[in-house]
Structure 1
Amino acid sequence: METLGTKGQVLSNGMFVYPKDELMNETAINAFINKNRGFTAKIYDRNMQYYLGKHDILKKTNATGIELNKIVDNIPKYLVDTYNGFFTGISPKITLDEDSLNENLQNWNSSNSFFDKLSEISKQVDIYGRSYAFVYQNESADTRVAVVPPTQGFIVYDDTIEHEPLAFVRYYKNSENMLQADIYYGNATQTYSDGKLLDLGLKSVYGMVPAVEFFENEERQGLYTDCISMIDALDDTLSQKQDTIEYFANEYMYVLGGGIDLNEEELSYMRTHRLINVPTANAADIKIGFLERPDGDNVQENQLQHLNDKIYQTTGIPNLSDSNFAGNASGVAIRYKLLAMENKASNKERKFTQALRALYKVVFSIDSVINVSDAWEDLKFKFTRNLPANLADEASTANSLNGIVSKETQLSALSIVDDPKAEMERMEEEQDQQLKKSLEVTGADYEKLDDTNQEQPEANQKSIKSHFSNDEEVDND
C-alpha cells in the first residue's frame, strides 16, 4: 500500500482509496491523477501498443550499425480477439420477469447499443486489466452509457472494508491545453482545473456514483501482462530466423587459388555476384565452395514452439490453429481443450455480472428507463460462450426438458433464441393465429368465441385453444 498526499492511498492492485464521507482536496486529486498517469505510461499504453502490433523490437537498435530484421508476431491481438469473441461474441441475455419492465429494458439496451459497448468494455479489460462504464444524461435527458478507458479516468473508493465507490474522476486536456477533471460524487459534481478545485456543482440525479469498474480478476491484470517478456523473446527469435534465411540466400561463393590480381571493376563484379577470389601461385591449393556458418534452424524452431506453447498456456487461451484441434471432431473433446479458457470466462462472467448489476442499479435509480428503482435486484443474466452450435443437439436437449422446467428455461437452451420471453410471446401469437384459421375452416366466429372465452376460466380458455391448435384434427372432424 502506498500513501498519496495526506489521506489518499493506492492498493497493490491499483485501487485508489480515500476516507469515507470526505470530499477530496486539491492535493489528493492531483496525486491520484498523477499516479494514474504513471500507470498509463508504464502499463496501459504499453499493453495497447502491444495489442496494436507496435512491440519493443521495432525500437531496438543494433550496436554494430547493421540493419537487421524486426519481425512482430502480434499474438496479443490474437489472444484478446479470440477470448473476447468467446466471451461476448454472443450477446448475453439480460432480462426481467415482468413483461412490461423487460420490454423497457430491452428497448433501452437496444437504443444505447449497450451490448456493443459491453464488448468494448470486455476488450479493454483484456488489454488494460480494467475499464469503466459511465452513466450520464444527454441533452434530451435520456439515460446513456459511455465507455471510459483507465487512461482517461478512475474510481476512488472509500476506506471501509467494502470499498464502496466514493467518486469517479474523468480527466482530460481542455481547450486551453490545461489539465481538467470532472469529479462525480454520489450527491454532486465538482471540477478540478489548473490545480484548483471549484465549488460543488450540480446535484447528482442518481444519488450514487454514476460509474462502475469492470475487471476480470482482483489483481486488475490484463490478459497478456505476464507474457510481455515471452512475446519479446518470440519476436527476437523470429527476427533472428529471418536474418539466417537472408544470410543463406546471400551466401558467397569463394575460389581460392588459380586467380590473378583483380582490378576495381572485377571486384565490383564479385560483390554483385557474391564471389570471392583469392589468387595463389600453387595450383594444388585451389579450392572452390561456399561460405557457411552453423545452422541453428532446429534450435530456433524448438524455441519458437516452446515460446508459443508457454504463452498460450500462461494466458489459458488455446491455439485454435494447432493441429491438435483438427483431429478432434467430437464436441466433447474440443470442450476439454477449451476448458482453461472456459474457466477464465466463468470467473470473468461472475465479475461482470456483479458489475452489470451495479451499473443497472445506477440506470434504474431514475425513472427514465424503468419506474421501479429496485428492479436491478431481479435482473437475470445469461452468458453464452461463442462456440459452433449443434442445433440438433440443442433442440434435443430443449425437447427433453419439456415438462421438467419452465418454458422460458427450456427455450433458453437454444442458442438461436436471443430473448426467451419474446419468443414465448411469438409462440402465443402463432397459436392464436392457428386457432383463428382453424375456426374459419369450421365457420365459427373467432371474435364471438374470443369474447366468450374471456368470460370463462383461464383453464377452459387454454382447453379450447388446445383443442383447435391442430389443423389436421379439425379437418378430420
Structure 2
Amino acid sequence: MGEMLKVNEFEHGTDGPYDVSRSFQQLYGPETNYSYRADNAEEILNDTGKLIAMIYDHCHVQCPRLAALDDYMKARNNGIYNDECRRIEKERADYRAAHNFAKIINVFDVGYNTGVPIKKVSDIEQINKFITEYDRDNDIEALDGELWRDMKKYGRAYELQYRNEKDQDRSVISNVFETFVCYGTDVERTPLFAVRYPIYRIGSQERVRVSVYTDNEIITYKTCQIASLKLEEEKREFHQWGEVPITEYSPDRYRMSGYEDVIPMIDLYDAAQSDTANYMSDLNEATLVITGDLNLQKYSVSDLAEMKKANLLLLANGINPDGSKSQTDAKYVYKQYDVNGAEAYKDRLQKDIHKISFVPDLTDDSFSGTQSGEAMKYKLFGFQQMAKTGQRGFKRGLIRRYRLLMNIKNFANEADNTDLGNLTITFTPNLPKAILEELKALVDAGMEVSQETLMGLASFIEDIQAELERIQNEKEKEQDDAVMKQMFGGMENEQSGVLEETGDGAEEA
C-alpha cells in the first residue's frame, strides 16, 4: 500500500526566527514604522544622547523591516529562505522556491503612475520656466520614477535638495536606510529636522557620518564607528532653502508598502511550490519493499535506519485469514500526490495575491483578449482608486520640492516672489489605448482632426514639424512641375503641329 503524503505543509522548524505561525505583520509591529516627533528641534539637537537614541532606533528597529521589504522585491523571501526552516527529514529533498510577486506589483505600480512623465504647469510663465530648467538639469523624469518606486516599496521615500559649488540647484534621492525626518507635534506635522547617516565599511569596521538638516543650517558631525556612536560637531553651514531641504514622500498616513499586506500569502505560495518540488523529487526515489521469511531480529536500529536511507524496506511474512503465511513478495512503493488539489490551492493563492493587492494578473486569460476600453477600466478600478491615494501623497512632496526651489531662487534674486501660482500636477496613466477605435468614433460623430494631431499618433514619426515641412515642400514641387508641364507641354504640341503642316505641304508639292 502506497504511503499517503499530504502536500502544502512545508515542514518548517519551530525554533527559527520565522515560521508559519508568525506572519510578516507579527514580526514587524507598529514600532517599526512610526514617525519621529518632538516639541521643537532644540529638544533633540541640544542633547546628543537623544539624537543618538533616535539614530539607533531607526537603524536597529525600523531598518530591519525595510530590509525585509527590499528582500521580497528581490526574490530573497525571508519566509522560505530562512536557514532554520527546512524539512525535518534531512535526507529528503529541500528545494526553496521564492516568487517575487512584490516585483510584479511594484513594477506595475511604477509604470502605471510614472511611465508617462508627470506634468507640472503653473499659470505664471516664469515659474514654468524655472520648473522646466530644474527638471531638465536633474533628470526629474527618472528621479520621480525612483521616488515612486521607493515610496511604494517601503511606504516612504526621501529627496534631498542642495546647491552645488557651481550654484546649480540639485535634487537626489536619499536612501531610506540612512534617512529619517523628525516632525513637530502640531497638527500640520511641520518638519523640524532631518537626519542622514550614510554607513560605509572599512575592513571589518562600519563607520558613519551624521548630518542634520534644519530649516536654516546643516550640522555635520565627525566620522565615527556606528557601534560606538559618538557625536562631535565638525561644522555648521547655513543654507537658503527656507525649510528642511529633505522631503519625505509617503502614499498615505500609514506608510505601508504596496505589497506589505500580501507577504503572508506570498510565503504560503512559496511553501506550496517548494512542497510540490520536494515531493515530485522524492517521487523518483521509490522504496523497494521485500516481504518474506526474514529474521528482522538480527538487524539493529542503525541497520534499519541505513535501509531507510537506501529506500529499502524489509518486512516479515504475515498471516493470512486461513492461517497460512503470506507469500514472499518484492515490489516498489510510490508516494501518492494530489495533483488537482495542490494546483487548485496554488491557483487560489495566486488569485488572492492579485485581488488583495489590486494589481491585475496580466497573464490571466480573462484579462487578455479583445475587450472594450470600458471593460478594461472596470478590471483596473480597484487599482486606480489606490493609485489616486498615492498620487495625492506624491503631489504634496512635489509641491514642497518646487516651493523650496522658489525659496532659494528668491534668495538668490533670480525670482520676483516665492508664489508658485496655480501649480497643477497631472498624472497620466501609462496604459495601452485603443486609439483607432476612439478616433473612428469621434470622426464619425463629426469631429475634425488636424494632420499635426494625426501625425502625433504615429509611432514612426519622430519630428512632426519636420514631417509637415517635407509635405509642404513636396506640394510646392508638384505645383512647380505642373506649371512647367503646362508651359512646355503646350510648346511641344505646337511644334508637332507645325511639323505635321510642313509635311502635308511637302506632299501636296
- Report the TM-score, using the length of structure 2 for normalisation: 0.70
Partner of 1:156, secondary structure, is strand
- 1:16 maps to 36
Name structure 2 gaps, 5 residues minimum: 1-29, 223-228, 297-306, 319-323, 481-509
User: Retained in 2: the 8 A contact 1:16–1:155?
Assistant: yes
Q: Which amino acid aligns with 2:425?
A: F
User: Retained in 1: the 8 A contact 2:131–2:402?
Assistant: no
- 2:415 maps to 371
Once the two structures are superposed, what CA deviation does each residue of 1:363-384 show, in whole Å capped at 9, x if it has no partner? 2212279625435343221111
Distance 1:372 1:150, change over 3 A: farther
Superposition CA RMSD, Å = 4.1
Q: Distance in 1 between matches of 2:457 and 2:249?
A: 26
Q: Distance in 2 between matches of 1:284 and 1:134?
A: 82
Distance 1:141 1:348, change over 3 A: same
| Correspondence for 1:151 among 173, 177, 181 | 177
How much has 1:311 moved relative to structure 2?
1.8
| Alignment partner of 1:208 is 2:234 | no
- 1:34 maps to 56
Distance 1:114 1:396, change over 3 A: farther
- 2:143 maps to 117
**Structural mapping, 1:190-339, within 5 Å:** 190-193=219-222, 194-198=229-233, 201-254=236-289, 256=291, 285-287=327-329, 289-339=331-381
- 1:58 maps to 81
Q: Which amino acid aligns with 1:227?
A: V
Q: Distance in 2 between matches of 1:77 and 1:18?
A: 36
- 1:184 maps to 213
Q: Distance in 1 between matches of 2:206 and 2:286?
A: 56
Q: Distance in 2 between matches of 1:91 and 1:376?
A: 20
**Structural mapping, 1:95-110, within 5 Å:** 95-99=121-125, 101-110=127-136
User: Retained in 1: the 8 A contact 2:124–2:421?
Assistant: no
How much has 1:390 moved relative to structure 2?
2.3
How much has 1:41 moved relative to structure 2?
3.7
How much has 1:27 moved relative to structure 2?
2.4
**Structural mapping, 1:341-352, within 5 Å:** 341-352=383-394
| Alignment partner of 1:168 is 2:191 | no
Distance 1:329 1:205, change over 3 A: same
Q: Which amino acid aligns with 1:181?
A: V
Distance 1:188 1:253, change over 3 A: same
Partner of 1:186, secondary structure, is coil
How much has 1:91 moved relative to structure 2?
1.5
Partner of 2:171, secondary structure, is strand
Once the two structures are superposed, what CA deviation does each residue of 1:229-262 show, in whole Å capped at 9, x if it has no partner? 2211111111111112112232245454599x9x
- 2:26 maps to none
Distance 1:242 1:438, change over 3 A: closer
User: Retained in 2: the 8 A contact 1:108–1:369?
Assistant: no
| Worse overlay, 17-26 or 38-47 | 17-26
How much has 1:147 moved relative to structure 2?
0.5
Q: Distance in 2 between matches of 1:415 and 1:31?
A: 57
- 1:135 maps to 161
Q: Distance in 2 between matches of 1:382 and 1:398?
A: 24
Distance 1:197 1:376, change over 3 A: farther
Distance 1:15 1:280, change over 3 A: closer
Q: Distance in 2 between matches of 1:399 and 1:186?
A: 56
User: Retained in 2: the 8 A contact 1:101–1:370?
Assistant: no
- Report the TM-score, using the length of structure 1 for normalisation: 0.74
Q: Which amino acid aligns with 1:18?
A: A
| Worse overlay, 203-212 or 54-63 | 54-63
Q: Distance in 2 between matches of 1:223 and 1:244?
A: 33
Aligned residues: 415
Distance 1:62 1:248, change over 3 A: closer
Partner of 2:183, secondary structure, is strand
Q: Which amino acid aligns with 1:72?
A: A
Distance 1:395 1:92, change over 3 A: farther
| Correspondence for 1:360 among 402, 408, 429 | 402
Q: Distance in 2 between matches of 1:370 and 1:189?
A: 23
Name structure 1 gaps, 5 residues minimum: 1-9, 262-269, 418-422, 444-477
Q: Distance in 2 between matches of 1:393 and 1:11?
A: 52
User: Retained in 2: the 8 A contact 1:210–1:362?
Assistant: yes
| Correspondence for 1:76 among 98, 102, 126 | 102
Q: Distance in 2 between matches of 1:377 and 1:192?
A: 39
Distance 1:440 1:388, change over 3 A: closer
Q: Distance in 1 between matches of 2:128 and 2:254?
A: 35
User: Retained in 2: the 8 A contact 1:20–1:160?
Assistant: no
Structure index of larger Rg: 2
Q: Distance in 2 between matches of 1:185 and 1:346?
A: 31
How much has 1:75 moved relative to structure 2?
1.1
How much has 1:393 moved relative to structure 2?
4.9
Q: Which amino acid aligns with 2:285?
A: N
